[in-house]
Amino acid sequence: MRGFLLRRAATVPLTLLGVSLLVFAATELVPGDVARIILGREASQASVQALRDELGLDRPWFQRYADWLGGFLTGDWGTSYTLGVPVQDLVVSRLGQSLLLAGVAFTVLAPVAVGLGLWAGVRHDRAADRVISVGGLAFGAVPEFVTGVVLLVVFAVNLRWFPSGAQAPEGSGPLTVLWHLALPALSLVLLCTGYVARHVRAGTAVSVESAYARAAELRGLTRGQVVRRHVLRNSTVPAASALGVQLQFLLGGLVSVELLFGYPGIGALLLQSAVDKDLPVLQSAAMVLGLLYMVIVLGADVAYRLLDPRVRLGAVAS
Amino acid sequence: MDLPGNATLDRLPGLSRRVFIGGTALTALLAACGTGTTTTQSPAQTQPTAQPSQVPRRGGILKAGSPPPPTKVDPVTMYDGTAIAITQLVADYLIWLEKDFTLVPRLAEKWESSDGGRTWVFTIRQGVVFSDGTPLDAETVKVSFDRLLDPDSKSAALSAFDGVLKEGGVAATDAGTVTFTLERAFSDFPYLVSAGNYNALILKKDYASGGDIIGTGPFTLTTYDASTGATLTRNPKYWQQDRPYLDGVEIRFYADDQADLLALQSGEIDAQILSRPQLVGPLKGAGDIVVDQVPGTGLTAFTLRVDQPPFDRKENRQAVAYALDRPGVNTTIYDGVGALGNDHLFAALFPAAPADLPQRAKDPAKVAELLGGRKLSFALTFDPPGKDLALTIQAQLKEVGIEVELDQRTSADFYGGDQEKDTPWLFTSANLVGWAGRAVPSQFIVPMVISDGVWNGSKYANPALDEAARAYDAATTDEERRAQAAIIAGALHEDVPVIISVWSGTVRAYNGAKVAGVAAHPSSYVDFSEVTVL
């Protein structure tokens, strides 16, 4: 395990370097001028050029990239071109918001999806299985912003049980914060539950039909005991992987939910900084998200290894 | 000088917010669902249902929604509607621009011109103090304009003053008088120092870009967060007695206008700063939502380059103009709140607008005659805010056999590049450019269609029009002005360097059961000093 962790950790800096180069190159290739975006189309060309000089935008790309990288590595993430605020504060604050929303959604998603998957797997090919599988597929096929709009119309606009904005007022207590996050979290849970449940269901269905499960039943264990003692652990192996994938999505792929619910998360920041060619923000946000992704993938792999002795023992390629 | 309007609302070029949430179809769904309240209102009832009572109720906080400003809020360089709204709540102009474009004295009590309109003397209101107690004087006003006129200011106001007023042209004659000496006679000059030139706010002498914004306005900026919003509290030192009625304003940022709308419908906010006619139109008459509407002077110019094929032929330009169904454009794009354009730059709101020029209308026979059997096809370049209009134009022109290839760019690309060499919005053969409302027609004419206009995307050059534009600016009588306006409008109508199909109106939606006194403004400006919470 230690060797595995060391090997994976060694790839992190190289991967992040690749990500930063890719983001930088893509931003360079996309047409548009951040100085013009900042000053607006009606500023004179001379004003735009003066701002370009001020921001150092006419320097060679490798110089600008090296300056940014050096600053990032030494903790100086620079100042947002467009918003004029320190990038580090902005990215950390937005990441915190996204982590909160993702955390709430994930806290609901994990037990619900695993539970439904287990139930469907144990009762595979029966009515409950079909309802869960078809329901999961249906909700999984509907984009979260559509589900979100329906939830908003029903619960925020018509019933007024929940606020339409996910951002609680400054200084709100935990319950108010959760109340504000309920609808966006629910739209995400509805989207992701089917995917996770399907993986758990598949593992469970195979496990309950396996020779060892049948043997256990023949030894007199009840179906419930068999599930708890033998099936559950096997089912959690695919669940770890599926939940890891969903967690990655929840952390960085929430742009539409953040926009729809007026939530200042890192997804919306990433999008806006890309549109505005705000390179210091875009690069730093991409690096932080990239690092987070790798940590999640690593966590999922570690969980996979801990849960499945065949992987630990090398019977299955890592 | 661009005033805030629809063109500045969409901040996701290339990745329209509507991609994410489905646009007007969803709005229709939301409207169909209503707000669950029982109050009803006829569709035609677009004026506020509740006006401020005789004895206005004091206190309360107005919660308003708006898109987050794309850049740091700096009164000198700002250009987006939200930043303008925030600063207009905090600081004052010499003159306010009413929604019918009349000028209302604010920090200037009066003004008069001499020297045939080349010298303007403004009397500054006495006894006014900034919210921190600093007194306002003529020197402060001078410094505010010097700051904008500094060639290094990077302010869009430089473009507004271009050719009219330059650095060194402002003098504080005494403690209460400011004199502007212009480069040429300009009879509409008061508009350039009014809210019509939105950067022209009076700030403290020591204001520096990025610093605290301290003004003489009805509110003070208490907190500002680029991600979430701004809070403003009543300025107890405000010079207008007993105003504002509110204790404060809370502006919440919504990066998506559907989210803004849903917040209004759900009661989370009381009003929108920037409303889109297409989005709020279906809400008219739905529950407590009131949609106030005013005529405007904003437009989307369908610019045709007259110096290269196919639009170097006047007949081709005229053919396109006669192929458009303008009422259809108004209904489809502006929810019917606009007024028909006639391919010149005098909106009906402008007093000198010519009334005797026949309204151009769709005429397929005329199109065929003008084209004379030649096939016409061209590429139309635009950015995301122009997409709906581009699709409408493509469909309408196809009906008369004119083929349009759509060339959508991101806003960053469309307005990027060098304005003297290659920027798409000034150098493509046909394009759509949104122009928010202007207070005076010269703010369109001078940059857009005179021969050396800084934003002359059509490359139109007409010495007679240039001369008439100069004469119009210098005219001192209404009669003289109308005469020059007729020459300008006639030339543009005949030569068609730009097609103006509709003058867009402006709307502002608010919750009529919760607040009163919120009103639309042609330039989406805000004056919440008389708003009351019900």
- The CA distance from B17 to the nearest CA of chain A, in Å, is 8
- The CA distance from B359 to the nearest CA of chain A, in Å, is 31
| In a shared domain, residues B418 and B521 | no
Write out chain B's pLDDT in tens, 534 residues. 444 443 333 333 333 333 333 333 444 444 444 443 333 333 333 444 444 446 788 999 999 999 999 999 999 999 999 999 999 999 999 999 998 889 999 999 999 999 889 999 999 999 999 999 999 999 999 999 999 999 988 888 888 898 899 999 999 999 999 999 999 999 999 999 999 999 999 999 999 887 899 999 999 999 999 989 999 999 999 999 889 999 999 999 999 888 999 999 999 999 999 999 889 988 887 789 999 999 999 999 999 999 999 999 999 999 999 999 999 999 999 889 999 999 999 999 898 999 899 999 999 999 999 999 999 999 999 999 999 999 999 999 999 999 999 999 999 999 999 999 999 999 999 999 999 888 899 999 999 999 999 999 999 999 999 999 999 999 989 999 999 999 999 999 999 999 999 998 899 999 999 999 999 999 999 999 999 999
Cis peptide before B277 (omega within 30 of 0): no
| In a shared domain, residues B105 and B230 | yes
Contacts of B289 in chain A (CB under 8 A): none
Contacts of B33 in chain A (CB under 8 A): 153, 157-158
| In a shared domain, residues B308 and B206 | no
> Is the CB of B77 less than 8 angstroms away from the CB of A39?
yes
The span from the CA of B84 to the CA of B498, in Å, is 28
> Is the CB of A276 less than 8 angstroms away from the CB of B412?
yes
Within-domain flag for B344? yes
| In a shared domain, residues B250 and B306 | no
Strand partners, B95: B105, B194
| In a shared domain, residues B256 and B305 | no
Contacts of B13 in chain A (CB under 8 A): 275
Q: Which two tokens stand for residue A169?
A: 């007022």
Q: Which two tokens stand for residue B381?
A: 């370049």
> Is the CB of B70 less than 8 angstroms away from the CB of A37?
yes
**Among the four given CATH numbers 1.10.357.10, 1.10.3720.10, 1.10.443.10, 2.120.10.70, the one describing domain A88-313:** 1.10.3720.10
Q: What residue of A is the nearest CA neighbor of B72?
A: A83
Hey, where are the domains in chain A? 88-313
The span from the CA of B52 to the CA of B11, in Å, is 34
Cis peptide before B364 (omega within 30 of 0): no
| In a shared domain, residues B226 and B319 | no
* Residue B377: domain span: 296-505
At B7 the pLDDT is: 36
Of A139, A121, A108, nearest in space to A238 by CA: A121
The span from the CA of B9 to the CA of A142, in Å, is 28
φ, ψ for residue B493, nearest 5 deg: -65, -40
Beta carbons within 10 angstroms of residue A184's beta carbon: 27
Strand partners, B405: B379
Q: What is the mean pLDDT of chain A?
A: 88
Q: Is A115 on the interface with B (CB under 8 A)?
A: no
At A220 the pLDDT is: 86
CATH of the domain at B159: 3.40.190.10
At A206 the pLDDT is: 86
| In a shared domain, residues B63 and B155 | yes
| In a shared domain, residues B347 and B387 | yes
| In a shared domain, residues B223 and B164 | yes
| In a shared domain, residues B227 and B353 | no
pLDDT tens figures, A268-295: 999 999 989 999 999 999 999 989 888 8
| In a shared domain, residues B476 and B521 | no
At A252 the pLDDT is: 66
pLDDT tens figures, B253-268: 999 888 999 999 999 9
Work out whether strand B271-272 and strand B61-66 pair parallel, antiparallel, or are unpaired.
Answer: parallel
- The length of chain B is 534
CATH of the domain at B370: 3.10.105.10
Beta carbons within 10 angstroms of residue B314's beta carbon: 15
| In a shared domain, residues B238 and B337 | no
Q: Is A256 on the interface with B (CB under 8 A)?
A: yes
Cis peptide before B135 (omega within 30 of 0): no
E-strand ranges in B106-258 read: 108-114, 119-124, 170-174, 177-181, 219-225, 229-234, 248-253
| DSSP single-letter state for residue B285 | T
Q: Which two tokens stand for residue B481?
A: 């002005």
Within-domain flag for B229? yes
Q: Is B228 on the interface with A (CB under 8 A)?
A: yes
> Is the CB of B36 less than 8 angstroms away from the CB of A146?
no
Q: Is A79 on the interface with B (CB under 8 A)?
A: no
Q: Is B58 on the interface with A (CB under 8 A)?
A: no
Contacts of A255 in chain B (CB under 8 A): 20
Q: Is B27 on the interface with A (CB under 8 A)?
A: no
At A313 the pLDDT is: 60
> Is the CB of B158 less than 8 angstroms away from the CB of A43?
yes
Testing the interface with A: which of B29, B30, B61, B71 to mutate, by most A Cβ within 10 A?
A: B71
Residues sharing a CB contact under 8 Å with residue A124, sequence separation 6 or more, in sequence order: A201, A204, A205, A208
- The CA distance from A184 to the nearest CA of chain B, in Å, is 12
Residue identified by tokens 């106030």 is B292
Residue A141 or B271, more confident: B271
Q: Tell me which residues of chain B, numbers 137 to 166, contact chain A at a CB-CB cutoff of 8 Å.
A: 151-156, 158-159
Q: Is A174 exposed, middle or buried (CB count within 10 Å of its CB: 0-12, 13-18, 19+)? A: exposed
Q: Is B450 on the interface with A (CB under 8 A)?
A: no
Task: Indicate if the pLDDT at residue A215 is higher than 80.
Answer: yes
Q: Are A149 and B29 in contact (CB under 8 A)?
A: yes
Contacts of A152 in chain B (CB under 8 A): 262, 266
Q: How many domains does chain B have?
A: 2
